């Protein structure tokens, strides 16, 4: 006897429908799964066998063949436990078989029949709505995530028995109801820029960076507050739009780290250790998974101790930093992940900063700086728009009880600057100054004669590359937007040039 149950699997962060065909035939008892399953799917026979027995259902002592179609695509995960179980029970008369094809089923079975949460539910809910299913049946813990897809009936179930009861009389079970206000609560942060003492020019540089979504490098001795400043950047970023929330939640759901949040409303802040592997940073695996650059999508990727990262990993960052996406290629597939993030990096002035020194006035020599900076390639530094020095915090600032400017006030100015940019680039797939191409730079970053003279002097003395020159113009445009001015003046250019401190060492 043959039964068909529809489920879904992931390819990258996008889902595709999987036709789970369950065939039971006379012969020696056996359980065979085909259709490019991974180890977790092949092991499902033991979970399914125990769950059916412990829920009071009979596991057929026959030859069982499970086919996961389309057969040419790899499938992974434990979400097929539920559809396989339903396929085995389809011919038992427990529920009408025609009811099965109206819904998409996903869920991992515990040995006692409970439904445990699975990953990729949001992407599966998106494909269920697109394909016209009446609804999706998933574990109770995943229902908030799926409820983000409006106008789709979502049924969160706690165990296999509830699913059977639902299929007997779907009209007696109401889908879960969540309003967007319940799912999309306002982001809350435990940190605030008002807690930072001193470092006014660094705060200004960070405000400019956030206003135009520019990449930034912080250079300073240990204890100067680089990490403290970086961790507060999400508090001054504009709130995510609904489309951005869906994108980020899909990535975290596909990675299996969404947990019970339902939706990720706070902008991501990822801070990988410098010992991270290539696959961990960029993404990879037999079936490629998102890496840190994708987990930081629409948020901040913070790389502390930048020169300590392996050279190859830093070079791999070029594509996602430049294009806002990263492609992971394997022999059988090529998957592109979104990775539009703001890169924030931090490093010491030199490798031996404060090493063995009790005095705080230790300074690095030019040779020490050059040797340390040589670990970072010039092309990567060219892609970092703002490079600013973070000095030691003075004692009077440490003991000061005066609070600095709050994140809310800074965010207000940032939002106004972003709104000017959205208005400027209306109708184009550009959302901030950092995304401008050559055409947009030449159109929106016009400077007067005095400004050109200042740029020429900076290029000749500091040896700016063509890319660095364009970066200065983009940052100047952002500074003008913060000031509410349409024209780029020499004052704006002068401030932007000061944010290229690394060029003097190369």
Q: HSE (CB half, 13 Å, CA atoms) of 48? A: 26
| SS3 of residue 450 by DSSP | helix
Q: Give the global pTM.
A: 0.91
**Which tens digit of pLDDT belongs to each residue from 166-190?**
999 999 999 998 988 888 888 888 8
Cβ atoms of 119 and 290 closer than 8 Å: no
Helix axes 81-89, 160-168, angle to 10 degrees: 50
Cβ atoms of 183 and 150 closer than 8 Å: no
Listed as own residue / partner, the contacts of 279-285 with beta carbons closer than 8 Å and 24 or more positions apart are 281/313, 281/316, 281/317, 282/313, 282/316, 282/320, 282/326, 282/328, 283/326, 283/328, 283/335, 283/337, 284/328
Instruction: Report which of 125, 145, 143 is spatially closest to residue 135, judged by C-alpha positions.
Output: 125
Predicted local confidence at residue 356, as pLDDT = 39
Q: Which two tokens stand for residue 503?
A: 């060029």
Instruction: Report which of 250, 205, 448, 431 is spatially closest to residue 340, judged by C-alpha positions.
Output: 431
**Which tens digit of pLDDT belongs to each residue from 469-495?**
889 999 999 999 999 999 999 999 999
Cβ atoms of 217 and 243 closer than 8 Å: no
C-alpha span between 176 and 265 (Å, rounded): 21
Give the rounded distance of the alpha carbon of 177 from its chain centre.
27
What is the DSSP pairing of strand 216-219 with strand 386-389? Answer: parallel
Q: Which two tokens stand for residue 54?
A: 């412990």
Sheet hosting strand 269-270, strand order edge to edge: 269-270, 300-303, 342-347, 216-219, 386-389
Give the rounded distance of the alpha carbon of 250 from its chain centre.
9
Instruction: Report which of 17, 29, 22 is spatially closest to residue 3, judged by C-alpha positions.
Output: 22
Predicted local confidence at residue 412, as pLDDT = 96
Give the rounded distance of the alpha carbon of 381 from its chain centre.
23
Percent of the chain topping pLDDT 90: 67
CA distances from 461 to 184, 371, 445, 458, 473 (A): 51, 21, 22, 5, 17
Predicted local confidence at residue 355, as pLDDT = 46
Cβ atoms of 115 and 160 closer than 8 Å: yes
| SS3 of residue 164 by DSSP | helix
Report phi then psi at 7, rounded to 5. Answer: -140, -165
Cβ atoms of 434 and 213 closer than 8 Å: yes
C-alpha span between 349 and 223 (Å, rounded): 12
- Cα dihedral: 303, 284, 247, 265 (round 10): -50
**Which tens digit of pLDDT belongs to each residue from 200-238?**
999 999 999 999 999 999 998 888 899 999 999 999 999
Predicted local confidence at residue 360, as pLDDT = 45
Distance between first and last Cα of the chain: 73
Residue 32: strand pairing partners: 65
Domains and CATH numbers, the chain: 2-181 (3.30.230.10), 193-431 (3.40.50.300)
Residue 324 is classified by DSSP as S
Q: Which two tokens stand for residue 414?
A: 């940032």
- Residues of the chain falling short of pLDDT 50: 355-360
Query: For 160-179, b where at least 16 C-beta lie within 10 A, e where not — what string?
Result: bebbbbbbeebeebebeebe
Residue whose tokens read 């890319």: 467
**Which tens digit of pLDDT belongs to each residue from 265-299?**
999 999 999 999 999 999 988 778 999 999 999 99
CA distances from 374 to 87, 99, 219, 317, 440 (A): 61, 65, 14, 17, 32
Give 398-437 as a DSSP string: HS-------HHHHHHHHHHHHHHHHHHTTTSS--SGGG--
C-alpha span between 326 and 342 (Å, rounded): 14
Predicted local confidence at residue 504, as pLDDT = 59
What is the DSSP pairing of strand 14-25 with strand 63-69? Answer: antiparallel
Name the strand (E) or helix (H) holding 210.
Answer: helix 200-212
């Amino acid at each position: 006897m043959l039964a068909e149950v529809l489920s879904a699997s992931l390819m990258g962060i996008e889902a595709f429908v999987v036709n789970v065909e369950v065939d039971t035939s006379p012969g020696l008892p056996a359980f065979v799964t085909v259709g490019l399953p991974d180890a977790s799917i092949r092991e499902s026979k033991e979970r399914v066998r125990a769950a059916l027995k412990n829920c009071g259902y009979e596991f057929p002592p026959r030859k069982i063949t499970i086919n996961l179609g389309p057969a040419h695509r790899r499938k992974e995960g434990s979400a097929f436990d539920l559809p396989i179980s339903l396929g085995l029970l389809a011919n038992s008369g427990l529920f009408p078989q025609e009811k099965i094809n109206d819904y998409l089923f996903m869920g991992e079975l515990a040995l006692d029949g409970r439904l445990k949460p699975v990953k990729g539910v949001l992407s599966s809910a998106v494909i269920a709505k697109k394909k016209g299913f009446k609804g999706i049946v998933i574990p109770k813990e995943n229902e908030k995530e799926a409820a983000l897809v409006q106008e789709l009936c979502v049924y969160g179930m706690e165990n296999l028995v509830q699913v059977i009861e639902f299929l007997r009389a779907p009209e007696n079970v109401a889908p879960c109801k969540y309003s967007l206000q319940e799912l999309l609560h306002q982001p809350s942060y435990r940190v605030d820029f008002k807690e930072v003492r001193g470092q006014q020019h660094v705060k200004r540089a960070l405000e400019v960076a956030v206003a135009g979504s520019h990449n930034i490098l912080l250079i300073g001795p240990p204890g100067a507050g680089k990490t403290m400043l970086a961790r507060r950047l999400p508090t001054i970023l504009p709130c995510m739009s609904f489309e951005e929330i869906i994108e980020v939640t899909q990535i975290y759901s596909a990675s299996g780290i969404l947990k019970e949040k339902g939706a990720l409303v706070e902008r991501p802040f990822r801070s990988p250790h410098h010992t991270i592997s290539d696959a961990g940073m960029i993404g990879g695996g037999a079936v490629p998974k998102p890496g840190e650059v994708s987990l930081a999508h629409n948020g901040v990727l913070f790389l502390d101790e930048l020169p300590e990262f392996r050279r190859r990993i830093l070079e791999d960052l070029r594509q996602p930093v430049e294009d806002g996406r990263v492609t992971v290629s394997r022999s059988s597939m090529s998957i592109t992940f979104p990775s539009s993030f703001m890169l924030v990096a931090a490093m010491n002035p030199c490798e031996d900063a404060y090493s063995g020194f009790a005095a705080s006035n230790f300074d690095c020599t030019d040779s020490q700086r050059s040797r340390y900076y040589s670990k970072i390639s010039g092309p990567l530094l060219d892609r970092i728009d703002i490079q600013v020095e973070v000095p030691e915090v003075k004692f009077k600032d440490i003991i000061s009880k005066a609070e600095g400017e709050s994140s809310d006030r800074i965010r207000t100015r940032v939002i106004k600057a972003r709104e000017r940019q959205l208005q400027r680039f209306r109708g184009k797939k550009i959302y901030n100054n950092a995304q401008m191409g050559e055409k947009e730079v030449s159109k929106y970053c016009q400077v007067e004669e005095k400004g050109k003279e200042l740029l020429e002097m900076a290029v000749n003395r500091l040896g700016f590359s063509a890319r660095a020159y364009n970066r200065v113009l983009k940052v100047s445009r952002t500074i003008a937007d913060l000031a509410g001015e349409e024209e780029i003046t020499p004052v704006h250019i002068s401030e932007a040039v000061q944010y290229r401190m690394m060029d003097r060492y190369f």
